[in-house]
Structure formats: structure tokens, C-alpha cells
Amino acid sequence: MTADDLESNDDAALFRAGIGEVRPLPKQNRIAPQPSCHKTFRTPPNATVEIADTLSDSCNEPPPEEFLGNGVSRMTLRKLRRNIWPIQDKLDLHGLHSDSARRSLQEFLLNAIEQKSRCVLVIHGKGLNSSSGEAVLKIRARHWLTQHPGVLAYCDATPKDGGSGAVLVLLRISL
């Protein structure tokens, strides 16, 4: 036995002595995990799927200010914030009702991905003229973006591009 083996055995014994006996929780004391409101799904290649109908309006959580898809590095989000990728297309959702805004966003994203656009700007507005006083399209557009399989990341646009009334969206090259 080497000195490292003895040291690791001593550490393990000390840890076990400090922790004491460990027993799993009984089934009735376990808390069920809360389902996430963000749906993740893959579109099979060469399949035409009506994704607009799968983008849900209902979610109990407020949308994140910034979004980073699974497997995408934090460095990618930093680059998006710094406008490393030029904005290749824009969509303005001002004045649209929720249903038509969702369909417009869906069509826009599908077209942008088909055209191999990498970075796009979605202008949803700040909700200043909303009768309820809240930015309905801002909240919903961000929820839809987190659910869309073609979206890798998004963040608030720079002040010159619309600030908190718009989002920069980084897209996959293909679905």
C-alpha cells in the first residue's frame, strides 16, 4: 500500500464517521420534481412539422431574460451579447395579437433557418402602450423562443437595436 492509499482510506473513514448512518428517504417523504414549462423536442430530418401549434402560451414561470439552449457554452451567450454575429434579418411584432405574433415568429424563424441566417432580431416592444400595463408580447415571445428547436440562445438587444424591447436570437444552422 502506498501513502496515497492510506490517506484516501483515512479520509473515507473520517467522512463516514462524520456523516453517520445513511438511509434512503421513505417513498412517502419524497417530493415529486416540478415539470418544466419549457418543452424540448427534435424535428426529424425532412419532416414537415407544424411547430407553431406546439409553442405553448401557458407557463407559470416568467421567461428568462437570457436563454441558453442545452449543450451551448456560456461563451456563446457572451459573444451574442457583444454582437459578434451580424444581424441578418429582423421581425417586428408591434401591434400584433398573440396568435398572429406566434405564427409570424414561427414562419420568420423557419425562413431564417432555411436561409442559413445565424443571428436575427425579434422586436416585441416594451409594452408601454399595453392596456394591462405589462409587456404581453415580450413575455410570450421569449417563452416561444425557449420552446423552439431552432433557437440556440437569446439575449436583450443592444440599446441601438431596441434594448429590452427586442431580443437578439442565435439560430441553429439547420433543424
Angle between the N-to-C axes of helices 98-114 and 136-147, in degrees from 0 to 180, rounded to the nearest 10: 40
Burial of residue 148 (CB within 10 Å: 0-12, 13-18, 19+) is: buried
Chain segment 41-68, per-residue pLDDT in tens: 444 444 444 544 555 555 656 678 899 9
Topology of domain 65-175 in CATH is: Ribosomal Protein S8; Chain: A, domain 1 (3.30.1370)
Domain spans of the chain, in order of start: 65-175
User: pTM of the full predicted structure?
Assistant: 0.66
